[in-house]
Amino acid sequence: MDHEEEFLNTFFAQVAQLCTDKAKELVEKERGSCRQTQMGPWGMLLMHLPQIAVAEHSYADLGFLHTKNKGFLRKDNSLRTVYESLKSDLKRVEEMTRGTNSIGATVAEVSNQLCQYITAKIQLIDFYEKMYNMSINSKTMKYQELLQCIEGIVEIHSLSCSHLALTAIKASLTLECEILVQLTKAQVELQHWRFLSTLMALYGAQTRMSAWERTLQSKESWKLGFSASFLKANQQPALYQWLVKLRSSILAKCSLYFHTTLSQQASPGEMRSIMSKQNVDYYHKIQSFQRKHDVLAVLIIFDSRGVEDAGLGYRHPRREPNTSEQFPVVLSCPSVFVQKPSIHLDNIQKRIKERHTELLAMDKIIYYKNDICTYAMYNTDPRMTLVTVSENGKQKDKEAHIASFMTDLCVQIRCNKIYESLKLSK
């Protein structure tokens, strides 16, 4: 291996591990040892490498979601601008070095592929911005749209950055993209109440996150603006920590939507222990609320109309779907509430059909009252409706509690707050 390629291998390995200072020191040492070629192809490339290391560090620290010191007559120094400037510089290096000599050919090829890499990073910045903007401008995340977007980025760049020297940063890029694909896919499958595919997507995300974590074994401290004690416990960059938080929130949601199935695989004690380790134990929240406020039942109902292969089990491809159960019960607390035929379920299903458009707006609780009970309905997802059933005589003093509980729970389950947390105030 040529000296130049060996150097680039080492440099980009440091960049992938986010060892920014080491990467910059490496470049300074290399520039010092080859002063005679400062103006040649190699020197031109070396000039821009430290900026790549700094930009990657900022990216991993979610720096792309913050524009610092931007104002009237001030230079835009956002990470996107830094990347675009780097891309222009590297294109210039490629044009000036192509066809000069063997080192020039390597420099030109690496510069070209670094441009591809930077293009992918800019597209990912757009993707994170899209997720953030969607979370604050919409009651529900459009996960199918997000999935198509991130899968498009993966497809475009699947064959880019093939130079051996870029193996380390290409691996990190691929892992990040695949983690985003798997987590977004898990959200799509959850919304359609598909058990196995949700679990597979979550498992796929976890294996890739573990692989990415292994590449981030850096001893450099992350200067996130928190106390030293916090830094000791959180050595991983902000982007990785956010992905961990997102996966945990999806896992908690999965544990709620498939609680009935999961509880059949473990004893009540084991189930409580498992659920207590979740980011949020939604079932315990629901159970505590139902008992504390003497609510007849809290349910989650799935609208399966127009959805294939939804539910907890498996269906043979040639078997006709069961259309009789258009509104299966995802969760019932207490469980005995749905273990016998009940007029309540008929009432709930009828109201979900009647108020379908209002429920889809996901902006208010829908009430229905008859002589015996009051039903409150609020969608957690486009096809998932949270329902509380309470007796009329006992309901007046707790209407506010029910409204507060349902609003808070639905907002939490939707995960919008997690996506909003991408843009932290710095």
What is the reported pLDDT for 99?
A: 74
- 161 with 286, same domain: the answer is no
The string of pLDDT tens digits covering residues 49-71 is 999 999 999 999 998 886 554 44
The pLDDT assigned to 231 comes to 44
Residue 227 has pLDDT above 80, yes or no: no
* Domain carrying residue 291: 281-311+325-417
> Is pLDDT at 10 greater than 50 in this prediction?
yes
Whether the per-residue pLDDT at 229 is higher than 50: the answer is: no
Is residue 214 in a domain?
no
Residues 51 and 164 in one domain: yes
Share of the chain above pLDDT 90, in %: 63
Averaged pLDDT of the chain: 87
Where a domain ends, among 155, 182, 209? 182
The two beta strands, 384-391 and 329-333, are: unpaired
Whether 269 is covered by a domain: the verdict is no
Mean pLDDT for 176-192 is 97
Q: Is residue 316 part of a domain?
A: no
Residues 58 and 175 in one domain: yes
Domains identified in the chain, total number: 2
What's the pLDDT at 222? 45
Q: Give the pLDDT band of residue 233 (cuts 50, 70, 90).
A: very low
Q: Is residue 241 part of a domain?
A: no
Lowest mean pLDDT among 83-87, 142-146, 230-234, 317-321: 230-234
Q: 226 falls in which pLDDT band (50, 70, 90)? A: very low
pLDDT in tens, 97-143: 887 788 889 999 999 999 999 999 999 999 999 999 999 988 889 99
Predicted TM-score (pTM) of this structure: 0.90
Q: Pull the structure tokens for residue 426.
A: 């710095």
Terminal CA-CA length for the chain: 44
pLDDT at 315: 63
Selected residue with higher pLDDT from 216 and 193: 193
Do 21 and 170 lie in one domain? The reply is: yes
The confidence score (pLDDT) of residue 230 equals 45
> Of the spans 136-140, 175-179, 192-196, which averages the highest pLDDT?
175-179
Q: Per-residue pLDDT averaged across 1-7, rounded?
A: 83
Instruction: Quote the tokens at residue 121.
Output: 């990073």
How many angstroms separate the CA atoms of 113 and 123, rounded?
15
Q: Is it the case that residue 82 has pLDDT exceeding 90?
A: yes
Which of 182, 199, 215 is a domain's end point?
182
Q: Three-class SS string for the chain?
A: CCHHHHHHHHHHHHHHCCCHHHHHHHHHHHHHHCHHHCCCHHHHHHHHHHHHHHHHHHHHCCHHHCCCCCCCCCCCCCHHHHHHHHHHHHHHHHHHHCCCCHHHHHHHHHHHHHHHHHHHHHHHHHHHHHHHHHHHHCCCCCHHHHHHHHHHHHHHCCCCCCCHHHHHHHHHHHHHHHHHHHHHHHHHHHHCCEHHHHHHHHHHHHHHHHHHHHHCCCCCCCCCCCCHHHHHHCCCCHHHHHHHHHHHHHHHHHHHHCHHHHHCCCCHHHHHHHHHCCCCCHHHHHHHHHHHCCCCEEEEEECCCCCCCCECCCCCCCCCCCCCCCCCEEEEECHHHHCCCCHHHHHHHHHHHHCHHHHHHCCCCEEEECCCEEEEEEEEECCEEEEEEEEHHHCHHHHHHHHHHHHHHHHHHHCHHHHHCCCCCC
Q: What is the pLDDT of residues 152-169, one digit of tens each?
A: 999 999 988 999 999 999
Residue 212 backbone class (left: φ over 0; alpha: ψ -120 to 50; beta: rest): alpha
- pLDDT computed for residue 278 by the predictor: 84
**201: nearest Cα among 149, 132, 253, 153:** 253
Over the stretch 285-318, which tens digit does the pLDDT of each residue have? Answer: 999 999 999 899 999 999 998 887 776 656 666 7
In a domain, 65, yes or no: yes
- Does residue 206 sit within a domain? no
Please give the pLDDT value at position 398.
79
Q: What is the mean pLDDT of residues 267-273?
A: 84
Question: Which of 114, 149, 182 is the last residue before a domain boundary?
Answer: 182
* pLDDT for 415 beyond 90: yes
Mean pLDDT in residue range 241-263: 94
Give the tokens for residue 34: 């080859």
More confident residue, 424 or 132: 132
Looking at the fold, whether 294 and 147 belong to one and the same domain comes out as: no
**Which pLDDT belongs to residue 234?**
56
Whether residues 10 and 126 fall in one domain: yes
Which CATH number do you get for residue 376? Answer: 3.30.450.240
Q: Is residue 376 part of a domain?
A: yes
174 and 301 share one domain? no
* Domain contains 189: no
How would you classify residue 225: left for phi > 0, otherwise alpha for psi between -120 and 50, otherwise beta?
left
